[in-house]
Amino acid sequence: MNTCPENVLELMNHYLDGDINPSEEQQLKEHLESCPDCREQYQALSKTVAFVQSASHIQAPSDFVQKTMGRLPKERQRAGVQRWLRRHPMLAAAALFCLLMSTALFTNFNDDQQFSFTKQPNLVVEGQTVIVPEGETVVGNLTVRNGDLRVEGELQGDVTIVNGQYMASSGVITGEIEEIDQAFEWLWFTIKEGFKDAAAIFETNDSQTND
């Protein structure tokens, strides 16, 4: 009676998997020639493989593609937008930022429909009109929103009028006069002021470091 090497089943499996090296293959062949039991087992296994491989190839039904496409979720506009957002996260973020920023600015502009002006002593208000009375001197810058300005006395400073008019009169203004009427100008003005403020901060920083 032959004693079979312990690894003979393993060798058979390697052989059937198609990953056996030549020396192992030699070893297996020699053993199978001398051992009828193992030969029978090997033949049964390879017959099994041949049997399974004899399974004929099967084709999908002829309407398979059509039916599959019918089951797909319909491409919706929203899906397209979502996919675009997913593919361009930076652009999406930038677009959202711009949208929010512009909304904020315009809302600000529209909310400021109330009549208001810089508080200064000596100023007289008549309805929607701010008046610097004759003989009085106002020192400092003056901003009037949603109202008009009439200067009869003297104003030592700059004037800014938003959505209003400077009504020419006999008064004296030592600074610049600026009238802002439209949303776009208001935006431009805000930006300009922002830069001026930023520049002022940098300048003070510079002078501090220079000190």
Partner 1 sequence: MDALVNKRIAKVIKGDQNAFAEIVELYQHQLYQVCYRMLGNKQEAEDIAQEAFMRAYVNIHTFDQNRKFSTWLYRIATNLCIDRIRKKKPDYHLDAEVRGTEGLNMYSKIANDDELPEEELMRMEVQERVQYEISRLPDKYRAAIVLKYIEELPLAEISEILDLPLGTVKTRIHRGREALRKQLSNL
Sites of contact with partner 1 (CB under 8 A): 13, 16-17, 19, 41, 44-45, 47-49, 51-61, 64-65, 67-69, 71-73, 75, 79-80, 83, 86-87
Distance, in Å, from the CA atom of 42 to the CA atom of 32, rounded to the nearest integer, reads 8
Nearer to partner 1 among residue 76 and residue 119 (C-beta): 76
Q: CB of residue 179 vs partner 1: minimum separation in angstroms?
A: 51
Residues 6 or more apart in contact with residue 148 via CB below 8 angstroms:
128, 129, 130, 161, 164, 165, 166, 167
Structure tokens given for 99: 């949208």
Nearer to partner 1, 43 or 174 (CB): 43
Distance of closest approach, residue 88 Cβ to partner 1, in angstroms: 13
Q: Please tell me the distance from the alpha carbon of residue 150 to that of residue 169, in angstroms, as a whole number.
A: 7
Closest CB 113 distance from partner 1, rounded Å: 45
Residue placing its CB nearer to partner 1 in the complex, 16 or 92: 16
Minimum gap (Å) between residue 207 Cβ and partner 1: 55
Pick 62 or 208: Cβ nearer partner 1:
62
Q: Report the Cα 175 to chain-centroid distance in Å.
A: 45
- Roughly how many angstroms between the first and final C-alpha of the chain, as a whole number? 106
**129-132/124-126 β-pairing:** antiparallel
